[in-house]
Structure 1
Amino acid sequence: MGDKLVVVGQGYVGLPLAMRAVEAGFDVVGLDVDAWRVKRLNAGESYIEDVGDDVLAEARGSGRYLATTDYARAAGFDVCVITVPTPLREGVPDLRHITEAGRSIAPFVRPGATVVLESTTYPGTTEEHLRGVLEEGSELRTPEDFSLGYSPERIDPGNPRWRLENTPKIVSGIDPASLRKVRDFYERIVEHAVPVSSPRVAELCKLLENTFRHVNVALVNELSIFAEQLGIDVWEAIDAASTKPFGYMRFTPGPGVGGHCLPIDPSYLSWKVKRSLGHNFRFVELANDINDHMPDYVVHRLSLALNRQGKPVLRSKILALGLAYKKNTGDIRESPAIEVVKALIKLGAEVKAADPHVDAHPLPGGLTLVEATAWEMAQADVVVVLTDHERFDYEMVQRAAAYVFDTRNRCKGPNVERL
């Protein structure tokens, strides 16, 4: 196994992988088409929560990490890992970024090299799509000339316990020799690699993991709606059910699902089933419908709460706590909190938001970013907890605010209404 690694994509998956590989002794080229990202990285400024500026500085100081937009710097690589986004376009998987990455790296694939796809995608992408792109551009064949495999990313941004190196890594190859090379590479990066028989199994594994979460989040989201109508405290029921030591896993409701994974990945599986088998994946479609409408339900509940106070949404002062899609990160991609804020602004509310992890992100028009101070709490007609960052002082929130609508079960008291 050689020591030159190319990581295509320097986002929340690719950058931590590049940093870990430098620690493991690889010479790493971090490729990204975004010149702004490359400029920040080469200036020693990280934009990823899980990669501190000190980690980036150490990697750059070692002389074994280079961020660049120039694919020519990939020449002579031993391993290339592709970590580009895989969005949906009008409900259809968009493999454009994988295709572009494959075409760009293909001229630098040489005999004996290994290419691994980490982007979440539908079963068959590695063997049926990326393989052809690489073979056409390199004029080589796999597995005869180079190795090809798939290893799904398992990054959980903001999770201090489960990091890249101690999270078990699924690995696969298109033949036994490819699997060995892919496994050998990741065993230098992570503590435990888990081999499976084919890239299709590994691709399905990733979609299974995220579909499992998506469906169970939808279950408790819908349950929270009906529990409120039945006059039952769903949070108390969840706490009680969570004492069962077998046959149950805790999931909690919220204002919706966000990020790149849960709103998108299960739809890749649904699309593949429909296209290949002609069947609807009813669990996924139902979960999509429930989770997609949770921001609307939160706005509905807020409207009812204001009405009980004799106030319309129009010109009401609302302070939103948390804009990111999950706690302890600043990632607002596909954030349900942002959808709630947009809807309230559209209804004429005067909305402010506090999020200690969000600074330079483009925010919806009409939204003001403020600090989560007691004064700001007291000025609001409603304080709505949308993302439960640990840096918020929830005792202060419930003490200073006249009324709190809490979608995350962090506040208690007579002035608090929970989702």
Structure 2
Amino acid sequence: MQKSEVLLHYIESLDVGSRISVRQMAMHQHVSAGTAYRAIKAAKDRGLVATIDRVGTVRTDPRPRSTGTSLTFADLVRIINGTVLGGNAGLDKPLEKFVIGAMKNSAMEHYISRNSLLIVGNREEAQMLALRSGAAVLITGGFDSTKEVTQQANAAALPVITTSYDTFTVATMINRALSDQAIRRDILTVASLYTPLADASYLVVPATIADYMAMNEASGHAELPVVSASGRVLGVATPATVLGKRPGSMIERGMEKHPAVVKTAESVATVNHLMQARGINLVPVVDDAGQLLGVLTKATVLAQLQDVPVQERLPDTIADQLSAALHAQDVADSELNACYTVATAPMMTNKYGALNVGVLSGLITSAASKFLRGQGRQNVLVDKLDLTTVRPIQLTAHVEIKLRVLEINRRNAIFDVDIDADKQVAAKALLTCQLLERN
């Protein structure tokens, strides 16, 4: 057995969630650092290990090469710039929904389900409840977990993650990520259409032209991938490439040596364009290492493109909900350009019952965007927000966001913003936006 295969078998023997490094592997297996590095890279191509921000390289379960139809806890760590405190073995599990732990444990239990995420502060009992119910834990505010919580996370293979962001901010980030993921799911990709290797027809060297002819007749496919003994794509044999060759000739002499290949994450529309441009009816589907995963035919692509289902309406993001909470008011003050009242909700408050600063920032940017859209400026990008809070805004307060335009031109808009609560100034802000015009 080759040394590379020995090292791959060693990696496979590690427990899922185990950390692995080039140095540790080189010392344990008595090989050079370069050999260990190449083995870890090969294992990554096979899905045996993954490198996760702020965690390192860890042993994972091999997953199908797809476009990522669900958000995983490893993705979550990257999105919120979090740190994993325990439960590394569960980082590749899918995140199906999240729950904000702003209630008593007895009430919270009803909402927690397997593969969900509980967003909570430094409440050990709530964290343990989530882990025992099959849910991961995200601790906001930068708090650490206790030894007992970490042990439970490791035993249950459920991640416990900490982040310095507040609850509302991370909820917004996760909500947006889940929405983006839903959009990706609706995009047709190679992963959802290709014929897997077990059901595909292909030739393995040393094969001959006669082998091609026999498989062509048996499978009905005129274009057949040619792979090495290890499964790497070497070419594609077609009627044109074998024309005039003797049946006993090696298939390498009757194949296209640099064929078009696609990966599972590519969109079907892109593959269709490739097939049309190059006049081909079949493409090999490969992984990052060039290993054959299966094939995709032109007939399959065209059938799917002609029968694309109507896209369902995506759920509103938290940013959308904040925008919907704003209600335009008539402006009596000539110095103001716009005024919006806010219908506050309990989800917008912090644990003290005051409007969350992250929510307030979102409301200000939503108000400015609404005003600019009313002026025909559809493409707005918030550049800078300087917010100064004067006093807490309570849940029951009547809140007004007053916009005063300081400057507006083709490229920028600058607002002076007053936030009043019950007719008293509660905060002030200076907001700068970029206006992106279409050419």
Normalised by the length of structure 1, the TM-score is 0.27
Greater RCO structure (CA 8 Å; 6+ sep): 1
Q: Which protein shows a greater Rg? A: 2
State TM-score, norm by structure 2. Answer: 0.26
Between Structure 1 and Structure 2, which shows a larger proportion of strand residues? Answer: 2
